[in-house]
Amino acid sequence: MEKKRLPIVLQLTCMFILVIFLLVSVLGFTVYKLKSSGQTTEELVKHNVTSANLVKAGHLEFTGALLDMRGFLFYPDGAVYEQGYREKIKKSSELAKEFSDTSKVADTREDGILLAKLVNDYVVLGDKVIAAKKANAPNLTQLTTQGRNLVKDIDDQFRKLDTQQQKYISERANAVLQDATATGANALIYSIVIACIVVCMAIWYSRNLARRLKNINNELAEVGNLNLTGKDVYPTRNDEIGDMGYIVIEMKKSLKGFVSQVTNSSQILSSTSIELSDSVSEQLKAVETVAESVTNIAAGSSQNADNISNISATMEEISASSEEINASTAEANNNAQNAVVEAARAMELLSQTVTQNESITASMDQITTVTTNLDQGSIKIKGIVDLINSIAAQTNLLALNAAIEAARAGEAGRGFAVVAEEVRKLAEQSAGATDEIAKIIDNMGNDIIFAVSTVKKANQEVDKGKSSAIATQKGFDVIIEKMDMVKNEIEHVAASMHETSLGIQTVVASVENITTVAHATSASSEVVAASAEEQTAGMHEIDTNAAKLAQLATEMMEIVKKFKV
């Protein structure tokens, strides 16, 4: 089953998206936690400090009302004190009721309701005391005693509420502080883990890419050195580098077939050249015999019949040898043409290899572009880190505002001032954590630069493979040139053999004329002698061409031996 294709650009894009997703997740988690802590702090300032201030203000108003009540009881003209008492006790009652209505904690709400009831009871008792004082009633002492007891209960209730509020504020502040501290630590840990994952992925991918390109370069180098004995290494991934690996394997197979075909053709050509040379030698001897016979015919007509018979038999042998030579020459020409075709196919495969090298170079340029985009993505992440720094600064400002509110609250806001200070420290810690994240991103940028360097090295390896393929292509250009020379020489031999065949036919015709026209022996002998001379010259030319053909076959065998199959 064919593996799903994953181009190199798609692989790098998926890695980049994964890294961005992880970083954005960590940053989103950190921002969420910081905003949650800010909201909790704001709620703490808005509700709990306000409630504490209500308790303090109500207690102060109640204490002022008690002082006015004492002034009313001890001074004869107590109208002013009576008015002050009524205003302050009313204010204290309203503050107690507001506290019980706005409290969000069940315990403090119940205690606030009890406080409001006690204050209302004191208002009723205070009206009775004022009326008894104005009327000089005998139960005034009894009423004041009841008032002192009720005042003690009210003071205890105010102190209890104040203690509860301080305890609640302290607990909430500690919870906010612990949550913020844990958030900062988690963000730092997650950032370090993600940075380690990104670095490991970048190193693993760059090394894997360089290893695959090195394997292909080694195979191309072996082909460039004419070594075809290496084991085929099939690609493990369906991408551009895998395509190049398959093309290299197919090229090696075609080259092996081509070298085998050229070797066989060279052997056949060599043996054919030897046979041709031997046949030419025999024909040359036969032609010399014909020439000698013609001379004898011219010298003595008494031996014409015998010599003509010998000439006829010899010419028949020459004709048969000529046909064999023509057949051998045709076979050699056919083999040479097949070798040229195979060489052309090998050249086409080499051209495909060079084209694939150019495609790989383009893909490596795309990889460099994606890596540059990854570097730009890290710059954008730095912008997000700056946003976190801004949020931390806002949190610090919020803590400062909380400290101001706590200072306004006086003693009641002292505990919250401590909390505000801790929140401010937490904001500074968050800013420090973001600085650490920025450093980690800088390290990631260095790793990205390392990946770019690795890609450049891979490009160099591809260029080496391309040079090896070009060198191999030049070697095959030489082989094709030699094959063309062999083909041309074979064609020359075929043409010479054709001329020789025509000459033989002429000699045969002349011999027939000699047998039929005995009286024209002298003239026919001259014609035969001339034809024999032409035949001799043609046979010498054939012998020379056969020697050249044998030399070319030897040179081609030496070239083929350079290949290791």
Type of residue found at 35: K
pLDDT tens, residue by residue, 199-211: 998 899 889 888 8
The two tokens of residue 262 are 């050229």
Identify the DSSP state of 5.
P
Sequential DSSP letters for 104-163: -SHHHHHHHHHHHHHHHHHHHHHHHHHHHHHHT-TTHHHHHHHHHHHHHHHHHHHHHHHH
What was the pLDDT predicted at 131? 93
Partnered with residue 564 across adjacent β-strands are: 227
Q: Among 130-139, 219-228, 282-291, whose mean pLDDT is lowest?
A: 282-291
CA distances from 339 to 27, 115, 474 (A): 68, 114, 17
> Is 529 or 373 the better-scoring residue by pLDDT?
373
Angle formed by the axes of helices 106-135 and 49-74, nearest 10°? 10
**pLDDT at 297 > cutoff 70:** no
Q: Assign 146 a pLDDT band (cuts: 50, 70, 90).
A: very high
Q: Assign 125 a pLDDT band (cuts: 50, 70, 90).
A: very high
Q: Among 72-81, 143-152, 229-238, whose mean pLDDT is lowest?
A: 229-238
> Is 173 or 347 the better-scoring residue by pLDDT?
173
Rank 39-48, 55-64, 230-239, 466-475 by mean pLDDT and report only the highest: 55-64
For residue 322, tell me if it sits in a domain. yes
What was the pLDDT predicted at 364? 67
For residue 339, tell me if it sits in a domain. yes
What was the pLDDT predicted at 224? 79
> Under a CB-based contact definition with an 8 Å cutoff, are residues 419 and 44 in contact?
yes
What was the pLDDT predicted at 130? 93
- Report the number of distinct structural domains present in the chain: 1
For residue 336, tell me if it sits in a domain. yes
- Find the largest Cα–Cα distance for the chain: 200
For residue 107, tell me if it sits in a domain. no
CATH number of the structural domain spanning residue 269: 1.20.58
Distance separating the N- and C-terminal Cα atoms of the chain: 31
Rank 158-162, 309-313, 314-318, 533-537 by mean pLDDT and report only the highest: 158-162
Average pLDDT over the chain reads: 78
Q: Assign 522 a pLDDT band (cuts: 50, 70, 90).
A: low
Length of the chain: 565
**pLDDT at 279 > cutoff 80:** no
Identify the DSSP state of 227.
B
Q: What is the mean pLDDT of residues 498-503?
A: 72
* Structural domain that includes position 329: 244-352+471-561
Give percent above pLDDT 70 in the chain.
74
Question: What's the rounded Cα separation, in Å, for the pair 239 and 209?
Answer: 11
For residue 363, tell me if it sits in a domain. no
Q: Assign 526 a pLDDT band (cuts: 50, 70, 90).
A: low
**pLDDT at 507 > cutoff 60:** no
For residue 344, tell me if it sits in a domain. yes
For residue 96, tell me if it sits in a domain. no
Partnered with residue 227 across adjacent β-strands are: 564
The two tokens of residue 562 are 């350079």
Q: What are phi and psi of 237, to 5 degrees?
A: -135, 150
Give percent above pLDDT 90 in the chain.
16
> Is 513 or 8 the better-scoring residue by pLDDT?
8
Q: Assign 90 a pLDDT band (cuts: 50, 70, 90).
A: very high
**pLDDT at 45 > cutoff 70:** no
For residue 197, tell me if it sits in a domain. no
**pLDDT at 518 > cutoff 80:** no
Question: What's the rounded Cα separation, in Å, for the pair 368 and 465?
Answer: 19
pLDDT tens, residue by residue, 451-473: 667 767 767 776 776 776 677 67
Q: Who's near 202: CB < 8 A, 6+ residues apart?
A: 447, 448, 450, 451
Q: Among 160-164, 300-304, 537-541, 544-548, whose mean pLDDT is lowest?
A: 300-304
